[in-house]
Each structure stands twice: as C-alpha cells, then as structure tokens.
Amino acid sequence: MTQDFILNPQLQQDCIQLGELTSGLVLLMNNQHFPWIILVPFTEHTELHQLERHTQQALMDDISQIGEWLQTNFHTDKINTAAIGNIVSQLHVHVIGRYKTDPCWPGVVWGNAPAAPYSERQLADIQAKTLSLFRPAGE
C-alpha cells in the first residue's frame, strides 16, 4: 500500500479489510447474503480509463483472481463485477458472488440488499480461506 493511500470512510464503515493484492486493497462487504469483495486500487484516479495500461491490466488480473476465488470457495451461480462509484467516488470494483437463491436474485444488490452482518465465526472462516490469495492488510 502506498503511504498516501486513504480509504474512503464509507468503504471503511461498510467493509472488513481482508488484505491486499498487486493492484489494491481487498475488502469484504459486511453482508453474509453475498460473498461480496470490493477491490480498491492504490490510486488517486476515480475512473478506470484514467489508469495507465499496466495498472489497468494488474487490476483486471486481480479482479479475475477474485472472481475465480469466489466461485471456488463459495460455489456461486454467477459473479457480478462493476465499478460504479456514484456514491463513493474513490475508484473501487465490486466483485460479487451471486446465488439464484439470494434475496436480490436476479436483480441488482445496490440499494436492495438486506443487511446481515457476518458473525465472528463466519469472518474467521472467510479470513482462513483468504490466506492463499491475499497478503494480510498492512504487510
């Protein structure tokens, strides 16, 4: 992580830091209905097209790695990937595991997801699954 990197307070409030990948900070949205990862690139830019090509490629590689990790570890029916940023302008990418049985299926999760924070045990289980993928935050 770069010295100047500051995580948006909304993301800090809504998420749990899991670790880091090459391109950015890996967060878990605190909602047990969906395995919902948010990747926050280490950049001041707010739009994907503003990134240098090598940074875009590193970000896409990390997004793909997260998507594969979600499908393997959570046996999802579908992976949704989006960079919206209308409320939180800091560039961040949602990689969300979806199930045909989840409370928002087949619609979008934004603004529709019922709150269901993870228990300590659930978080410990998810963090154990991340050891092969992410560097712990701050390392």
pLDDT in tens, 24-64: 999 999 999 999 999 999 999 999 999 999 999 999 999 99
CATH code of 44's domain? 3.30.428.10
Indicate the burial class of 2 (C-beta count within 10 angstroms; 0-12, 13-18, 19 or more): exposed
Query: Residue 132: what pLDDT?
Result: 73
Q: What is the pLDDT of residues 77-115, one digit of tens each?
A: 999 999 998 999 999 999 999 999 999 999 999 889 898
Instruction: Give yes or no for residue 136 having a pLDDT over 90.
Output: no
Range of the domain at 46: 9-109
Q: Residue 118 domain-assigned? A: no
Contact 39, 23 (CB under 8 A): yes
pTM above 0.85, yes or no: yes
Q: How far is CA 9 from CA 73, 75, 78, 134, in A?
A: 29, 31, 29, 22
Query: Residue 2 pLDDT more than 90?
Result: no
Residue with tokens 């410990």: 124
